[in-house]
């Protein structure tokens, strides 16, 4: 069988859960329409729980409809971009659904962005309206971008009375130095108030005709690992297709209208936005919202609300497997414990299962795939694999420098084709042309990830193409070196990068965080000798630098980009 046919024959389908087809019928509808259908069925059910405050689906819809009416009166029309510069809170869900009901396109902004980063996203997206946490407004003002409507909201607006003062203190500490606008500043700048708009307008959203396959729903920005961040254009159909594809795997264990999910992953990120928030509210689940990942509160909430779904990232599970309060949760009771956004280290998986008796299901996805493209089946996960392509998804592996299909088992660049793939990058035709390619009449997304597929159709991650280190003519996967370092009992975290060197191409440099008890006792030379025992000579780090901590991305991944920049500057 030719290499191409090995992928197009979809060998992974044989390991799908029972009754899951290779191809699903994707509903031809919009996100607001499907949300309204859920509200009609589960109006009195609790949609959101925010530090004890409960909001029903009927109340959520009422406020989203009022906000949509307000946006329409403020001049927001179909296709306009509405930016959400918010922490996880009820206002996020209300504003998100309200903006879509007004026909707008939502573009989330990370709350940890600086004014310069905010300026890039606001100007690049062309947003004319920003819904902003009052304590984050300083960065909007200092961005220098002229915005027609700035709508302020406070984190305490939906909190129970007893928690309002405490919450303000916590937020003030987390976002110290940010100036919350006072009444005089609000008046002078012509700022609007979220709650006043909700109260002022009736729950009568504008009647906007939405073409699910053509009209954009969201412009989420990528992390900017190569150049400035760019936005993936996701239609209503892209997002709802991803929902149907991914949920088909969990349909046998998740019951619509009868699940509770812990929602602490940030909604500005595609993982939190689609997998957690949108999956919850368009399937009638209850979302327990957290603005910050306070582990004590989260663990308590899992038990208090009998959560059935938990979604995390590798660094979180690495932390929880050692945390003394992790045993307060009966993890075996949860229907699904998921890991995404980065690759799980095998030691983390083994330690987690030994500690909790539960299994972490690993998946894979990108902003460009509306969040998910692969997941492990619950009954047949494979350790070290990010799973099988979900229904309606074609996946293959190409030569990372060309378009030839790679033979089974060999490493190359993952390419994907399916209804959840973005339309392209917003105002970036050159980047779109590089990323979305045509092969024999079919459109494929070049992911930039180096992977392999085994004979059963399970996919295995090796590295990002940009993180491939060329040393003395050899190709070295940074992830492989990191895995070896993580295998050392005294290594808590590691990040590996290549540092340009004219003699060898790249010198391999490892940044390492030791366990607290090992600091000052383990030397660079000892760790180098350990690597020599585990790695081929050309993969052994030439430089090892100990750190107290490593820079992280917004979702907790070790930021190799920042490490690489530091190493190159040094």
* Burial classification of residue 351, based on how many CB atoms lie within 10 Å of its CB (0-12 exposed, 13-18 middle, 19 or more buried): middle
Q: What are the residue ranges spanned by the domains of the chain?
A: 3-26+234-463, 57-209, 472-569
Mean pLDDT of 20-28: 92
pTM for this model (two decimals)? 0.87
Tell me the CATH architecture of domain 472-569. Answer: 2-Layer Sandwich (3.30)
Judge whether 445 and 234 are in contact, CB under 8 Å. Answer: no
Q: Is residue 224 very low, low, confident or very high in pLDDT (cuts 50, 70, 90)?
A: very low
The reply to whether 57-209 and 472-569 are identical in fold is no
- Give strand ranges (E) for 220-270: 234-235, 260-263
Residues 304, 308, 309: CA angle, nearest 5 degrees = 115
CATH classification code of 3-26+234-463: 3.40.50.12780
If 0-12 CB within 10 Å is exposed, 13-18 middle and 19+ buried, where does residue 217 land? Answer: buried
The single-letter DSSP state of residue 522 is S
In the CATH hierarchy, which fold is given to the domain comprising 57-209?
Answer: Rossmann fold (3.40.50)
**Residue given tokens 């000579």 in the structure block:** 537
List for the chain the helix, strand, coil content (%; round to 5): 35, 25, 40
Please report the sign of the dihedral spanned by the C-alpha atoms of residue 196, residue 200, residue 203, residue 209: negative
Cα dihedral 510/513/518/521 (nearest 10):
40
| Each residue's pLDDT tens digit, 425-455 | 999 999 999 999 998 789 999 999 999 999 9
What's residue 125's pLDDT? 97
pLDDT in tens, 348-385: 889 999 999 999 999 999 999 999 999 999 889 998 89
> Where does 109-224 show beta strands of DSSP type E?
129-133, 149-153, 192-193, 216-218
* Bridge partners of residue 464, in order along the sequence: 449
Ordered alpha helix ranges (H), 282-410: 295-304, 314-320, 346-356
Query: In this model, does residue 226 exceed pLDDT 50?
Result: no
Q: How far is CA 440 from CA 1, 394, 404, 435, 534, in A?
A: 18, 14, 12, 16, 43
* CA 333 – CA 219 distance, rounded (Å): 36
Contact 567, 544 (CB under 8 A): no
Placement of tokens 């006792």 in the chain: 521
Q: What is the pLDDT of residues 250-295, one digit of tens each?
A: 767 889 999 999 999 999 999 999 999 999 999 999 999 999 889 9
């Amino acid at each position: 069988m030719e290499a191409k046919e090995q992928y197009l024959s979809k060998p992974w389908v044989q390991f799908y859960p029972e009754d899951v087809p290779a191809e699903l019928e994707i509903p031809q509808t919009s996100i607001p329409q499907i949300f309204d259908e859920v509200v009609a069925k589960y109006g009195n059910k609790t949609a959101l729980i925010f530090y004890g405050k409960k909001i029903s689906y009927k109340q959520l819809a009422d406020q989203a409809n009022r906000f949509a009416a307000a946006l329409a009166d403020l001049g927001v029309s179909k296709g306009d971009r509405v930016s959400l510069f918010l922490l996880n809170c009820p206002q996020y869900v209300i504003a998100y659904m309200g903006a879509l009901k007004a026909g707008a396109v939502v573009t989330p902004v990370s709350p940890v962005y600086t004014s310069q980063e905010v300026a890039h996203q606001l100007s690049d997206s062309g947003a004319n309206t920003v819904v902003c946490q009052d304590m984050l407004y300083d960065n909007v003002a200092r961005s220098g971008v002229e915005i027609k409507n700035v709508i302020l909201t406070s984190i305490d607006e939906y909190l129970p009375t007893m928690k309002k003062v405490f919450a303000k203190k916590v937020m003030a500490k987390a976002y110290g130095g940010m100036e919350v606008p006072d009444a005089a500043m609000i008046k002078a700048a012509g700022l609007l108030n979220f709650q006043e708009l909700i109260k002022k307008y009736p729950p009568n959203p504008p009647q906007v005709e939405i073409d699910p396959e053509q009209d954009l729903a969201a412009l989420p920005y990528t992390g900017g690992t190569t150049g400035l961040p760019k936005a993936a254009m996701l239609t209503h159909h892209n997002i709802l297709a991803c929902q149907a594809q991914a949920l088909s795997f969990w349909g046998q264990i998740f019951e619509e209208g009868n699940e509770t999910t812990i929602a602490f992953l940030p909604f500005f990120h595609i993982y939190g936005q689609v997998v957690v928030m949108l999956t919850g509210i368009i399937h009638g689940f209850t979302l327990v919202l957290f603005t910050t990942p306070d582990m004590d509160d989260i663990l308590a909430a899992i038990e208090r609300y009998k959560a059935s779904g938990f979604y995390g990232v590798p660094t979180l599970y690495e932390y929880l497997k050692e945390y003394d309060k992790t045993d307060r949760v009966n993890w075996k009771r949860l229907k699904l414990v998921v890991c995404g956004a980065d690759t799980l280290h095998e030691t983390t998986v083994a330690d987690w299962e030994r500690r909790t008796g539960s299994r972490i299901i690993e998946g894979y996805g990108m902003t460009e795939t509306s969040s998910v493209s692969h997941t492990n089946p619950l009954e047949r996960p494979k350790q070290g694999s990010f799973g099988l392509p979900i229904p309606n998804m074609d996946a293959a592996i190409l030569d990372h420098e060309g378009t030839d299909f790679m033979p089974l088992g060999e490493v190359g660049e993952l390419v994907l084709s399916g209804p959840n793939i973005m339309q392209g990058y917003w105002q970036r035709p050159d980047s779109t042309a590089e990323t979305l390619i045509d092969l024999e009449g079919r459109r494929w997304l070049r992911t930039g990830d180096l992977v392999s597929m085994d004979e059963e159709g399970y996919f295995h991650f090796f590295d990002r193409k940009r993180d491939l280190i060329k040393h003395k003519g050899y190709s070295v996967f940074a992830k492989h070196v990191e895995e070896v370092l993580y295998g050392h009992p005294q290594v808590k975290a590691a990040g590996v990068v290549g540092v340009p060197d004219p003699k060898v191409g790249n010198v391999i440099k490892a940044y390492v965080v030791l366990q607290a008890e090992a600091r000052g006792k383990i030397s660079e030379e000892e760790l180098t000798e350990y690597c020599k025992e585990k790695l081929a000579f050309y993969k052994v780090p030439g430089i090892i630098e100990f750190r107290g901590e490593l820079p992280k991305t917004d979702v907790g991944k070790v930021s190799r980009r920042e490490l690489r920049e530091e190493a190159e500057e040094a």
